[in-house]
Amino acid sequence: MRTGLVARKLGMTRIFTAEAHAPATVLQLEHPVVIGQKTQSRDGYNAVVVACTLAKAKNVAKQQKGVYAKAKLEPRKKMKEFRVSEKYLVPVGSELLASHFVPGQFIDATATSIGKGFAGGMKRHNFSGLEASHGVSVSHRSIGSTGQCQDPGRVFPGKKMPGHMGSTTITQQNLEILQIDDERGLIIVKGSIPGSKGSYVELQDAVKIVMPQSAPIPAGIKPKQQTENSEQKEEATN
């Protein structure tokens, strides 16, 4: 199990091939860096902590400032911990590349879906609603009976009913990677990914499909000199 990446969703497009064209989602890496490690001997499990997107120090919590100071790195906006196997631990300070994944590989993407506010049963759970005639009046889009009579005489917890729709954590599995661009930090994935434009997406190797042998081990890491130069350029632009 390798570490994952944290990317920002730019939007959707389509990719043309010789045979056909496919819908695709464009994701951009904002210099994800390993800022910490968890080890079996010290913490009881192995994990890698990845952070991305430079942030102003005044906007970072005091506890997080200590983590970045220990790693001797600039504060970041987004931080995520990924469970890994011991042989896939990545050194602190390593910047991860888009080529951590390879074209044709399948990945799992986790993000927060777009919030849609309060929704009825037909929109939220795909209920059919009541009949259009035969005595039905005013309540065509209602969900119908939700409980029982005297026994048990209550509505069971978890009943599908109208309520807040969206804004939940969703994992989309087995998404194919179409293209990788290390220079611009782009990952183009076939199909749609949960979340709105500009939101963060967590990417990991697919759980249900074997990782290709061409995938870099322990991870796709940028050479140290290039990492320092990219940080200096990003600080200058901010």
Q: Which band of pLDDT confidence, cut at 50, 70 and 90, is reported for residue 95?
A: very high
pLDDT at 147 (0 to 100): 84
Q: Give percent above pLDDT 90 in the chain.
A: 63
**Same domain flag for 62 and 14:** yes
Task: Clarify whether residues 90 and 17 are in a common domain.
Answer: yes
pTM for the whole thing? 0.81
Please provide the distance, in angstroms rounded to a whole number, between the alpha carbons at the two ends of the chain: 35
Contact between 10 and 53 under an 8 Å Cβ cutoff? The reply is: no
Distance CA 124, CA 165 (A): 6
Q: Exposed (0-12), middle (13-18) or buried (19+): which is 69, by Cβ within 10 Å?
A: exposed
Please indicate, yes or no, whether residues 202 and 128 belong to a single structural domain of this protein.
Answer: no
Residue 231, pLDDT > 60, answer no
Q: How confident is the model at residue 226 (pLDDT cuts 50, 70, 90)?
A: low
Examine the domain organization and report whether 180 and 229 are in the same domain.
Answer: yes
Position 121 scores a pLDDT of: 94
Q: What is the pLDDT of residues 165-188, one digit of tens each?
A: 999 999 999 999 999 999 999 999
On whether both 146 and 176 belong to a single domain, the answer is no
Q: What is the CATH number of the domain that holds 206?
A: 2.40.30.10
Q: Mark whether 128 and 16 lie in a shared domain.
A: no
Please indicate, yes or no, whether residues 91 and 178 belong to a single structural domain of this protein: yes
Q: What is the pLDDT of residues 1-59, one digit of tens each?
A: 899 999 999 999 999 888 888 999 999 999 999 998 999 999 999 999 999 989 888 88
Residue 14 contacts by C-beta under 8 Å, 6 or more apart in sequence? 21, 22, 23, 24
Query: Kind of pairing, strands 169-181 and 47-54?
Result: unpaired
Q: Which amino acid is at 145?
A: S
Same-domain status, 15 and 65? yes
Q: Please give the torsion angle defined by the CA atoms of residues 56, 61, 62 and 68, in that order, rounded to the nearest 10 degrees.
A: -60
pLDDT for residue 4 = 92
63 pLDDT tier (thresholds 50, 70, 90):
confident
Assess whether 39 and 91 both reside in one domain. yes
Residue 229 has pLDDT above 70, yes or no: no
pLDDT at 208 > cutoff 90: yes
149 is in which domain, residue-wise?
116-165
User: Is residue 60 located within the same domain as residue 100?
Assistant: yes
Side chain identity at residue 92, one-letter code: V
Task: Specify whether 91 is located in the same domain as 62.
Answer: yes
Summarised one tens digit per residue, pLDDT across range 132-177 is 999 999 999 999 888 888 888 889 999 999 999 999 999 999 999 9
What is the domain count for the chain?
2
Q: Identify whether residues 110 and 120 lie together within a single domain.
A: no
User: How high is the pLDDT of residue 237?
Assistant: 62
- What is residue 233's predicted lDDT score, i.e. its pLDDT? 64
What's the pLDDT score for residue 149? 83
